[in-house]
Amino acid sequence: MTATPTTLNARALLLDMDGTIVNSDAVVERCWRRWAVEHGLDPEEALKVVHGRQGYATMAVLLPDRPMEQNLADNRVMLAEETADTDGVVPVPGAPAFMASLAALPHALVTSANEPLARARMGAAALPMPPVRVTAERVGASKPDPEGFLKGAAELGFAPADCIVFEDSEAGIQAGLAAGMRVIGVGPRAAAHAPTAHVPDLTHVTVTADRNGTLTLQITK
């Protein structure tokens, strides 16, 4: 028996980047494994907390007694390394068609990457860069703080309750829910963190709009 699709309605969509529309796990793991070893940490344990946060926030979790100035300095180096390394960066399955379907619809990128890193990865994955984007430079607090999603909704001109977030990480899902938004979890990391709905990848989501601007999301398992 074929499962009935889940239908959600919204006015705007807010998209995380890494792990949600772009698969950059290969680069993230290379850079963070190297950093963890340099700081005497277990790389496997480090990788459990790196996704979704800005680098300095991850470092603060892993090295809680270290001065934040050192985390910020290391984060600048990490961002440069990640921006230069696009080997293995590819779109998440279904992302090209999904992004094409949003071209004329209200949507924004809300990412923990800074602008150069976001451009590098979206370019490597051959995905269009949304005109509205909230990158690391534009927020004072990293996910799981909801600031980025609230800014994205405000720039698009919609109330949080009218927005749906697409996220892959625990920190990102927490941020979206804290912003008062519904969250579609994408990929294997997302399922355990109680998103509103979950999909294995973006081949399981279609988005259409009616003449009044209501977006209809059909989600299949």
What pLDDT, in 10s, does the model give residues 169-211? 999 999 999 999 999 999 999 999 999 999 999 999 999 999 9
At residue 2, does pLDDT exceed 80? no
Q: What mean pLDDT do residues 137-162 have? A: 97
Does pLDDT of 221 surpass 90? no
In the annotation, is 16 catalytic?
A: yes
**Alpha helices by DSSP H, the chain:** 25-38, 43-47, 55-62, 68-84, 95-101, 115-124, 147-156, 170-178
- Number of C-alpha atoms within 13 angstroms, CB side, residue 87? 5
Model pTM score? 0.90
Catalytic residue among 16, 74, 145, 201: 16
Q: Per-residue pLDDT for 48 more than 90?
A: no
pLDDT of residue 1: 39
Q: What is the mean pLDDT of the chain?
A: 95
Put the strands of the sheet holding 133-134 in their side by side order: 133-134, 107-110, 12-15, 163-167, 182-186, 197-199
Which one of 18, 74, 145, 162 is the catalytic residue? 18
